[in-house]
Every structure is written in C-alpha cells, then in structure tokens.
C-alpha cells in the first residue's frame, strides 16, 4: 500500500461533503503501511468536482472493504452503516463492512453487531492503529476508511472508484 489517508470526524448534513479515505491494496498481500496518515504521491478527491454520472466499467475493482473505526459512536454508527449499505446498493459490487470498536463503553458494538458487519474489539485509543487493525482483517482489494459519524453515498463511492481507476492512491471528499 502506498499510504493511508486520515479524514477527521465530520457531521454531514444534506448537500455537504463527506470525509472518506481510501487505499488500494496494490501489493495484494493485505499489508498496511506503517505511515498511516500520509499519501505519498497521492491526491485529494472532491466527489462534487468529479463526474459522478460517468458510467463505471463492468468490473472497476474487486471487493471493497469499508473499515469503520469507532469509539463511543452509538448516536452515529447505525446511520453510518445504513448509508454504506445504501451506497453499495446503488453502486453495486461485492463489499464487506468492518467496524473496529475501540474500547467503547456505550452501545456502539451492540448497534454494529445488529447491522450484519464484522465487528472487532480493540483497546488501542489511537485512530491510526484502529484503522490498521481493520485493514489487516479486510479482504477487499480497495479499502475505504469511513469515520463512524459520516454518511457515505453512492456518488461519492463511485467518484472515489473512478479516481482509483485513474491512478489516485488515496483521498478525501471535502465539503
């Protein structure tokens, strides 16, 4: 992997951008970079400036792994996971969702468990380490790192996939 991008917590309302980071597992070996938070040679993607109407090729990528780090996110995690599912219903293709619950003492884990996701429990209290834990468990060719308080939508996922096809290594959608 060239690198990983960290996108800060974002509360997203109608018409605003979203914080999403993605990494293509170019090596195909499931290894994650130790320098998470950097994008060597990468670029940022703003889904609004891309052309979300451009059709996706039949097979743009293999499986997508959505990795959601979470700590005490009971107010947001359910909606975040529902949005990921809705986005992928519109985009199509194979995907998995991995929630990495980092020492939550609220209902975050229970809510995630009820959403048919892979749930991992850690006590790391370091967002990069939590993301890397999820990435090590992911089986997708492409990793999307999505903050638990973020609403993912189909056009943003599609724009990110098109950017990957065009050579982007990582990015974040911004308002």
pLDDT by residue (tens digit) across 99-152? 999 999 999 999 999 999 999 999 999 999 999 999 999 999 999 999 999 999
pLDDT confidence of residue 168: 83
pLDDT band at 174 (very low <50, low <70, confident <90, very high): low
pLDDT confidence of residue 59: 53
Paired with 142 in beta bridges are: 24, 64
Q: How many CB atoms lie within 10 A of CB 64?
A: 24
Segment 54-108, tens digit of pLDDT: 454 555 578 999 999 999 999 999 999 999 999 999 999 999 999 999 999 999 9
CA distances from 11 to 44, 76, 152 (A): 19, 9, 11
Helix (H, G, I), strand (E, B) or coil at 121: strand
Paired with 20 in beta bridges are: 146
The percent of residues in the chain predicted with pLDDT above 90, rounded, is 55
For the chain, percent helix, then strand, then coil, each to nearest 5?
25, 15, 60
Segment 36-52, tens digit of pLDDT: 332 233 333 333 334 44
């Amino acid at each position: 992997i060239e690198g990983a991008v960290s996108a800060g917590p974002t509360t997203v309302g109608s018409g605003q951008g979203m914080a999403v980071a993605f990494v293509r597992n170019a090596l195909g070996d499931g290894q994650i970079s130790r320098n998470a938070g950097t994008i060597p040679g990468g670029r940022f993607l703003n889904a609004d400036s891309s052309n979300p109407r451009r059709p996706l090729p039949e097979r743009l990528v293999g499986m997508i792994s959505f990795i959601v780090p979470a700590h005490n996110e009971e107010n947001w995690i359910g909606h975040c996971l529902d949005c990921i599912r809705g986005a992928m219903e519109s985009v199509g293709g194979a995907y998995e969702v991995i929630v990495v619950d980092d020492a939550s003492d609220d209902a975050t884990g229970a809510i995630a468990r009820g959403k048919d996701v892979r749930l991992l429990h850690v006590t790391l209290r370091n967002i990069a380490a939590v993301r890397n834990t999820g990435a090590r468990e992911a089986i997708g060719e492409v990793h999307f790192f999505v903050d638990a308080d973020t609403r993912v939508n189909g056009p943003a996922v599609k724009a990110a996939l098109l950017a990957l096809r065009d050579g982007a290594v990582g990015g974040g959608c911004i308002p």
